[in-house]
Amino acid sequence: MKEKQNLAAAAQDCMAYLPGMEIIESDILREVQHAADSVDFNAFTERDIKAALMRKHKTVQDFAALLSPAALPFLEEMAQQARQLTFKWFGAARSIFTPLYLANYCENYCVYCGFNCHNKINRLKLDEDGMEREMQAIAATGLREILLLTGESRSMSGVEYIASAVRLARKYFAVVGLEVYPLNSDEYAYLHECGADYVTVFQETYDVDAYAKLHLAGHKRVFPYRFYTQERALKGGMRGVAFAPLMGLSGFCRDIFACGLHAYLVQRKYPAAEISFSCPRLRPAEGNELPPEANGTDLRHLVQAVCAYRLFMPQAGITVSSREGAGVRDNLLQIVATKISAGVSTGIGTHSKQEREGDEQFEIDDNRSVDEVFNSIKKAGLQPVLTDGSYV
């Protein structure tokens, strides 16, 4: 792999934009990198953590302290404060949605992902009939919110293709989110007109050196274009945007800190934006070239990350995906999570059991149906909600 990394690094500077990529006026990347480079997470002490926990409105410095190794013995206190804030801002409502994978073609080479362009998997792209069959099968479960995903291939899943999926989805769902390759703001404006209003893009890691070693080819290699996706989406009129690093790819404290600060600065610049975090931990995937230990981010770190997000940005949504098992997800719904997926498949054409199906992106850990998740939320004394927004 080292040889491939050297070749890729020589071929393409990961900080240089490629032709056609929109460059927006923003200083947030510089601010985030400067702040993340300035923090010594090992220097925080028990006293810093106690001071951070005492403060009603957590500062950026408090957020860093709560992500440090010194905060681990305080996880219980963090969780209690986080739970209070979650109930204060969101009450008992917990939203349910499902992802729909439209295509699994990808032009990028991310060494940890089963969809990467060198991986020999069954590639498939749903046509309009296939999309509609999938949407009908999902709508029949009662869901009102859907997240449309593709691999990152402009040539196989162009903007017009995504637009046709969005228009169809609007027939069946109240809320349509997108998790596709990063686009320019005029393209987001177009997809918003078609009916989408939420954009999720994971930065994967905020450590530029690690990013360059993990993303060896394709448009995704361009770090700043990906970083500014949320801003371009908001400029295009989207209601909300989601942020996340992929835990396990690089240093935990720095990545979560940088992600939280990124979201915080975007919120400050776009006060009306609905901000949310996801908390994906790396999962086993066919073709993942990383060592097995990368798939094992400590569960305590996951809890620390989501509690720190909640304490730092109390009004931000937090989504917990089916990468986690049912027990972990149910517990997180009591503490921090506001949204959960259900009836999940990361393959193509699997909801309606189509004749040809495309391979899955990664293994999921919670296979519960929509009914099962709905009932388990109710049983826990919470309120399952099938849509938490309306398209404007």
Residue 321 engages ligand SF4 in binding (rule: CB under 6 A) = no
Number of residues that bind ligand SF4 (CB under 6 A): 9
* CA–CA gap between residue 308 and residue 391 (Å, rounded): 30
CB 321 within 8 A of CB 333: no
Residue 116 engages ligand SF4 in binding (rule: CB under 6 A) = yes
- Residue 267: C-alpha distances to residues 243, 274, 276, 282 (Å): 12, 8, 10, 27
Neighbours of 357 (CB within 10 A): 15
H or E element in which residue 275 lies: strand 274-278
How far from the centroid of its chain's Cα atoms is residue 331's Cα?
Answer: 19
**Considering the complex, what minimum distance in angstroms separates the CB of residue 275 from ligand SF4?**
22
Residue 244 engages ligand SF4 in binding (rule: CB under 6 A) = no
**Considering the complex, what minimum distance in angstroms separates the CB of residue 152 from ligand SF4?**
4
**Considering the complex, what minimum distance in angstroms separates the CB of residue 285 from ligand SF4?**
8
- Residue 82: C-alpha distances to residues 56, 308, 378 (Å): 12, 8, 21
**Considering the complex, what minimum distance in angstroms separates the CB of residue 286 from ligand SF4?**
11
> Which residues ranging from 41 to 100 are in contact with ligand SF4 (CB under 6 A)?
none
Which residues, other chains included, contact 102 with Cβ-Cβ below 8 Å and sequence gap of 6+?
A: 125, 126, 131, 148, 149, 150, 157, 161, 162, 165, 348
**Considering the complex, what minimum distance in angstroms separates the CB of residue 239 from ligand SF4?**
23
Residue 115 engages ligand SF4 in binding (rule: CB under 6 A) = yes
* Span of 1-9, 106-114, 295-303, 367-375 interacting with ligand SF4 by CB under 6 A: 106-114
Q: Which is nearer to ligand SF4, 64 or 259 (CB)?
A: 259
* Span of 83-91, 95-103, 105-113, 333-341 interacting with ligand SF4 by CB under 6 A: 105-113
Residue 106 engages ligand SF4 in binding (rule: CB under 6 A) = yes
* Span of 83-91, 108-116, 134-142, 163-171 interacting with ligand SF4 by CB under 6 A: 108-116
CB 173 within 8 A of CB 127: no
* Span of 103-111, 229-237, 250-258, 262-270 interacting with ligand SF4 by CB under 6 A: 103-111
Q: Which is nearer to ligand SF4, 341 or 376 (CB)?
A: 341
Q: Which is nearer to ligand SF4, 151 or 260 (CB)?
A: 151
Which tokens hold the place of 105?
């073609």
* CA–CA gap between residue 329 and residue 302 (Å, rounded): 11
CB 215 within 8 A of CB 107: no
* Span of 45-53, 111-119, 329-337, 345-353 interacting with ligand SF4 by CB under 6 A: 111-119
Residue 233 engages ligand SF4 in binding (rule: CB under 6 A) = no
**Which one among 71, 113, 180, 199 touches ligand SF4, defined by CB under 6 A?**
113
**Which one among 62, 145, 152, 324 touches ligand SF4, defined by CB under 6 A?**
152
CB 330 within 8 A of CB 372: no
3-state secondary structure of 235: helix
**Considering the complex, what minimum distance in angstroms separates the CB of residue 2 from ligand SF4?**
19
**Considering the complex, what minimum distance in angstroms separates the CB of residue 252 from ligand SF4?**
19
Per-residue binding letters, 161-200, with ligand SF4 (x by CB under 6 A) = ----------------------------------------
Q: Which is nearer to ligand SF4, 112 or 312 (CB)?
A: 112
Which tokens hold the place of 336?
């921090």
Per-residue binding letters, 132-151, with ligand SF4 (x by CB under 6 A) = -------------------x
* CA–CA gap between residue 278 and residue 332 (Å, rounded): 12
Residue 329 engages ligand SF4 in binding (rule: CB under 6 A) = no
Q: Tell me, what amino acid is at 293?
A: E
Nearest C-alpha neighbor of 254 from the set 61, 31, 68: 68
Residue 220 engages ligand SF4 in binding (rule: CB under 6 A) = yes
Query: How does 210-234 read in b/e, with b if 16+ C-beta sit within 10 Å?
Result: bbbbbbbbbbbbbbbbbbbbbbbbb
3-state secondary structure of 110: strand
* CA–CA gap between residue 329 and residue 153 (Å, rounded): 31
> Where along the sequence are the contacts to ligand SF4 (CB under 6 A)?
106, 108, 110, 113, 115-116, 151-152, 220
